Amino acid sequence: MTISFKGRDERTESGPCSVSVAVVFHSGYGHTLRQAEAVAAGAASVAGVDSLLMSIERSDDIWQHLLSADAIIFGAPTYMGGASASFKQFQDASSSKVMAEGYLWKDKIGAGFTNSGAQAGDKLSTLIQLALFAAQHGMHWVNLDLPPANNSSTASRNDLNRLGFWLGAAAQSNVDESPDTAPPRTDLATAHHLGQRVAKVARQMKTGAMALAGDV
């Protein structure tokens, strides 16, 4: 599955700055897919940014798409305290598909998200795994930039980042609910925020690089 989300056009004083954000993910039961869709929509909500949603199992030419992206957001469900086996296979494949030709993802923007059935579910372990994966490729990791929520008597489970993660976006899906109702709207809004934040950072980086190149 490959879905393109088209952002709004924007022109700056130096001309058009088109930015591409790839959201690459694995979803075992459809819950992480819902989260991935929210991330991709968040990225596309930023002017001048287009996002591409790609399942690691159903996307053609995935490596070429990732090579041309300015930012890559990785997503996987948390199973047994880490990313799913399918996503780990994708990570391992990047050694021959990407690293064999050099650091082809070097200086791209990276970020991550994960979902599990439990409130905590050792999701931090998966986010750390994703961040290390990005570091191995020489990427620049972007955090969630949201304070922890739902942690006081006046707070609500409807607050963004209700699960209290910093490294990336986390979601929780009740194991007896289908993707039609889980993860909850708040977790999808948090995922949307991550996509939007990554898109803004990627646009800033690309605009800055273009400006520097013009000064040479």
Residue 88: CB atoms within 10 Å = 16
Residue keyed to tokens 């790609």:
54
State the Cα–Cα distance between residues 151 and 86, nearest whole angstrom: 34
* Structural tokens at position 86: 């399918």
The pLDDT score that the predictor gives to residue 15 is 45
- 72: β partners: 22, 110
Q: What is the pLDDT of residues 195-206, one digit of tens each?
A: 999 999 999 999
Q: What is the pLDDT of residues 19-41, one digit of tens each?
A: 999 999 999 999 999 999 999 99
State the Cα–Cα distance between residues 62 and 60, nearest whole angstrom: 5
* Alpha-helix runs per DSSP H in 53-168: 62-68, 85-97, 123-136
Per-10-residue mean pLDDT of the chain, 216 residues long, equals 66 60 97 98 96 88 94 97 96 92 93 95 96 97 94 86 96 96 97 98 93 73
The pLDDT score that the predictor gives to residue 12 is 40
Domain 2-215: which CATH number of 3.40.50.360, 1.25.40.10, 3.90.1150.170, 3.30.70.2860:
3.40.50.360
The pLDDT score that the predictor gives to residue 14 is 38
Residue ranges per structural domain of the chain: 2-215
- 60: β partners: none
Provide the terminal-to-terminal Cα distance of the chain, rounded to the nearest Å.
41
The pLDDT score that the predictor gives to residue 156 is 83
